[in-house]
Chain A
Amino acid sequence: MTALEIAAAVRSGATSAVAVAESAIAAIRTRDGAIGAVTRLLAGRALAEAAAVDAAVAAGRDPGPLAGVPYGVKDLFDVAGLPTTAGAAIRRDAVPAAGDAEAIRRMHAAGAVLVATLNMDEFAYGFATVNATWGTTRNPHDPDRLAGGSSGGSAAAVAGGLLPLSLGSDTNGSIRVPAALTGTWGLRPTHGALPMAGVFPFVDSFDDIGPFAATLDDLELAWRVLGGVGEAGPAPRVARLGGWFARDLGEELAAALDALALPSVALADVERARSAAFVMTAGEGGARHLPELRRRALEFDPATRDRLIAGALMPASFYLAAQAFQAPFRAAALRVFEDYDVLVAPTVADVAPRIDDPFVTVAGERVPARAHLGRYTQPLSFIGLPVIAAPLRRPGRLPLGIQLVGRPGGEGALFALARRWEAAGVLGT
């Protein structure tokens, strides 16, 4: 059932929130072993929250638009009473969070029921969700393939039908990449649009949270519950991003994008924008973790440790040059939005890489997927643009996804276009 269907059934009394929560808990217990999306099952909390929703319904009170809807959160959201691990072994015994993250409070106020915390790359630094402590999250469409990251557990929990909704975070593509590889809907909002209080930070300049869902309606509902605002407006003017965003595409994705028959627009200096995002990420991430790296570097996940150290040792001039590039690149992008409301771009070049061969091809060379799956996503989050990561509708085949990119605050136009293309059979799960 979708989140909307669950909420309607709970609100009408056709089913109880406790029954829905029990079903989600059972699904995780029986099926997550093959996926590896869940790091902590919060059965006690879920049943208590669900009982409160049922009590509200019984008393005739409004239980909220997400009444009884089970969901999970990436393991970097504060959950009251639990250590916020951020996917790191060194935080396994951190002081428990005193309260819930603001996003969880808003979900709770809307009647949603928190069931699980979900796997991620350590400290959100990666596009793979291959975690030395909590294991590899597998792609529900093919368990021999990556689910993507860093919010891989959030994407896989929805794609695998364990939960109808989840929350993740996106710094360079960490919602969009796993959404594409698992065939789910994801939203990275305008930078700063949704609350970051109680979310373990990675790179303040780019960090944002957002929802994953199996349907577009559920995605929009979760976004509005979290605080998203904006109206659809008239039919959006749409173009396709060319240049950097048209290179190195797999054949099927290239054909799907060509079939949209959109005018192509170029955005200059995209490669530099990606480099700048790469440098700022390393610099801010490295500086954040330097105190713990001094104390116990070898307790970090080897997959992130050396990159964080390198970022901490990098000359400040690198960071400042990258930061200085933000304003001119943003200004150039905003000029493109004078003529268009939505820009379309690939999310990832091809289907999910295999876990035993985690490489992608760029300019004819095999390069590690962990660092390169975000080549089409990083330049966009570098300037804080909102993006819906949308699954191309292709039943029975491995997922491919595209980005619907808007101007800051332009989420309404993204939902309008997504809805139109979903109705036309272009997008959907």
Chain B
Amino acid sequence: MDDPPPFDVETLARLAGLELPPECVAGVAENLALLAEHARRLAPDAP
């Protein structure tokens, strides 16, 4: 990913008791963004 993630995945990981290795940060952020996109489709008012 070229852009920084729109949320702080390291803090999210710490909340889950996981010290996120630096090599995972971009991939986890990318996958969380993808999950958010899928979740948006499930909203009752989604197009």
Binding site for B on A (CB under 8 A): 271-272, 275-276, 278-279, 282, 290, 293-294, 297-298, 302, 305-307, 309-315, 317-318, 321-322, 325
Known: A290-B16, A306-B30, A309-B13. A298 touches B35 (CB 8 A): no
Main SS of the interface on chain A?
helix
Query: Which single member of A271, A290, A294, A313 contacts B12 (CB below 8 Å)?
Result: A313
Known: A309-B13, A311-B35, A313-B13. A279 touches B42 (CB 8 A): yes
Closest A residue to B27 by CB, please name it: A306
- For chain B, residues 1 to 47, give those with C-beta under 8 angstroms from any C-beta of chain A: 9, 12-13, 15-21, 23-24, 27-28, 30-32, 34-36, 38-39, 41-43, 46
A201 vs B27: C-alpha distance when bound (angstroms) = 24
B28 to chain A, nearest CB (A): 5
Q: Show 12 A/B contacts (Cβ-Cβ < 8 Å), sorted by A.
A: A275-B41, A279-B38, A293-B18, A297-B18, A305-B27, A307-B31, A309-B28, A311-B35, A314-B32, A317-B39, A318-B35, A318-B36
CB atoms of A312 and B16 under 8 A apart: yes
CB atoms of B35 and A309 under 8 A apart: no
User: Which residues of chain B are near A282, meaning CB under 8 Å?
Assistant: 31, 35
Binding site for A on B (CB under 8 A): 9, 12-13, 15-21, 23-24, 27-28, 30-32, 34-36, 38-39, 41-43, 46
Extra inter-chain contacts (20) besides given A290-B16, A306-B24, A318-B39, CB under 8 Å = A271-B41, A272-B46, A275-B39, A275-B41, A276-B38, A278-B35, A282-B31, A294-B16, A306-B30, A306-B31, A307-B27, A307-B31, A309-B18, A310-B31, A311-B35, A313-B13, A313-B16, A318-B35, A318-B38, A318-B42
User: Which residues of chain B are near A305, meaning CB under 8 Å?
Assistant: 24, 27
CB atoms of A314 and B35 under 8 A apart: yes
User: Which residues of chain A are near B35, meaning CB under 8 Å?
Assistant: 278-279, 282, 310-311, 314, 318
Closest A residue to B44 by CB, please name it: A321
A302 vs B39: C-alpha distance when bound (angstroms) = 24
User: Which residues of chain B are near A293, meaning CB under 8 Å?
Assistant: 18
CB atoms of B42 and A272 under 8 A apart: yes
A309 vs B27: C-alpha distance when bound (angstroms) = 9
From A276, A282, A306, name the one whose CB has the most chain B CB atoms within 10 angstroms.
A306
Known: A282-B35, A314-B35. A309 touches B20 (CB 8 A): yes
